[in-house]
Amino acid sequence: MTVPLAASTGTATFDQIAIVTGLVSLMYLALAVLLWRERTGRATLVGRLADTIGRLDGVPRWAALTPYLHILALLAAAFGVWWDIAVHIDKGRDTGPFGTPAHYPIFFGILGIIVAGVLPIALARSPLPARTIRLTKGWRIPASAALVTVCGTFALVGFPLDDVWHRLFGEDVTLWGPTHLLMIGGAVFSIFGRLLALAEVEQLMGPNVRRLVQEIICVGALLIAWDLFSTEFNYGVPQFPLILQPILIAFGAAMAFTLLRARRGPGSTFGALVVYLAVRGTIAWAVDQPLGEILGHFPLLIVEAVIVELVALALGNKNRFRLGLVSGALIGTVGVLAEYWWSTVWMPIPWPSSMIPAALGFGLVTGLGAGLVGAWLATRYAEVAGEVRTTPSVRRTHQLGAIGLVAVLAALFFCVPRSADPGVSATVALERVATGSEPTAYVTVKLQPGDAGEGARWFEAMSWQGGGFVTHRMEKVADGVYRSADPLPMYGKWKSMVRLHQGQRDMVAMWVYAPEDAAIQKPAIQVSDGQTVNFISEQEVLRREERTDVPRWMWNGGYALLAVVGALELLGIGWLVGRGARGGRLRAAHLETSKRERETA
């Protein structure tokens, strides 16, 4: 049986557990009272507010409050995640769920998503869209409300599970830990529920400019939220192969822009792009300037938006799957090349030219798949809204959407695994720049074998978690000899290393300096001039706090649980969106039949 780590290594103390439990309990108690009063016909302040906003916006009462609450919750959660990751990079681990102020907007943002899902459940009353979900004999709710609530619940469950994970495995300082992805994934997937709600309202009330603007904002939010998965790359501390960055960019851009442009008119993708750039840029500035943390970079997505608009202009958007395939293919190639250029201009880790063939290959597969997924979603949302179409058949569209999803997931799963070649070592030379209590030095390494650094996807000297973040390229000065472009700090809480990413997935690193860490029983590390050091798995260096005495099956079990939850969320999106689409088709057919009968009467 493993012994839990001390609270100082990132696990919650009793007072923090009490805070989380108390806040969540209060929220659920308030929601329970609201549900009881609304379902028993009693007036509530929330209900009166929903009625007022519903009249002003021209929407049913159940759809009046959630657009505004949901977007605010997403903004809070996204801001908190980028702030929190910057804090970890600059200062290291925290002391529990509320060990840093950045956790508060994440926590309250997740609670806000749940409330945004529960409010339509409490306020559900005619008119309701077709194919609602029956809770009791007289209580039916929109499918969108169920989807948002489920996604928010999965995200909230990730909060306490994160503390359990840290107790079992130590603190995994990576965005792509299972519990972190559970929280982020729940928030991201809830956006598909909001898009479903907009389509349900359109089914009942018809289209208007206000709902079109809300849809554009939702797709912009989807682009922003999707970029969360790339945050480690955007901050310059990726712990997974670099090829995943163009794959994630192609996936998000092709899916989101196709989803929007396949249903809406010219220029709509530019609207979503403006939302993405404005909000994403503002968050990056806020974390960097007023808060004084590391600057987060991000892809531009301008070329990708232009591609979709041009393809729609040339081919139209009547055949959504053709639009998705052509747009996705171009985003996976031309768009990836545009982001390659952008990476050399502003990204913390420029993509090497040697990676371009692989990036184009995987980008093409991902773009094609994401285009099909976006087209499937656009088709289903259009059907929910009341569109009547006969070709392609519903079954055919399901097949195309499934093929697209499988293609994207296959590309991701093929590129995620990492390896570590233990056959690299280096003889170190330190050129002191500053001495005394805060020494710094240029680091020169003579590699064995000498060609180990050739064609590397990254080869850099990096220091972090000492009150800041610095990264410098290792510049070649002779065959097999490389020198850091600038000196590295070797004092205090700084952790300095040299990182080497060879081939598609081989990632190793060597220590230069690390302080003693009594909380996790790690000794100090100081490489001396002339010492020969072996490169080891990069994960052992970047995740120093992780435990090494945990059985492999427990790690595999954690990631397997994440896979199960992710699959459930994807199935939930597919089922609920598909259910709503079927209801929309049946309602549209009924209205069409009634119209013909009236015309012939």
520 contacts 93 by C-beta, under 8 angstroms: no
CA angle 254/257/259 to nearest 5° reads: 95
pLDDT score for 463: 97
Q: How confident is the model at residue 10 (pLDDT cuts 50, 70, 90)?
A: low
Strand ranges in 116-266 using DSSP code E only, listed in sequence order = 133-136, 139-141
* Mean pLDDT, rounded, for 483-510: 96
591-595, long-range: CB < 8 A, 24+ apart: 591/386, 592/388
- Is residue 593 classed exposed, middle or buried when 0-12, 13-18 and 19+ CB atoms within 10 A define those classes? exposed
431, containing H or E segment = strand 425-434
pLDDT above 60: residue 8: no
Q: How confident is the model at residue 141 (pLDDT cuts 50, 70, 90)?
A: very high
pLDDT above 90: residue 592: no
Per-residue pLDDT tens over the stretch 404-450: 999 999 999 999 999 998 789 999 999 999 988 999 999 999 999 99
Per-residue pLDDT tens over the stretch 468-478: 999 999 999 99
Per-residue pLDDT tens over the stretch 306-331: 999 999 999 999 999 999 999 999 99
Pair of tokens at residue 242? 């670099």
Global pTM reads: 0.94
pLDDT score for 4: 39
* Mean pLDDT, rounded, for 185-209: 96
Per-residue pLDDT tens over the stretch 205-247: 999 999 999 999 999 999 999 999 999 999 999 999 999 999 9
181 contacts 155 by C-beta, under 8 angstroms: no
Please state, rounded to an integer, the average pLDDT across all residues of the chain.
Answer: 93
3-class SS of residue 135: strand
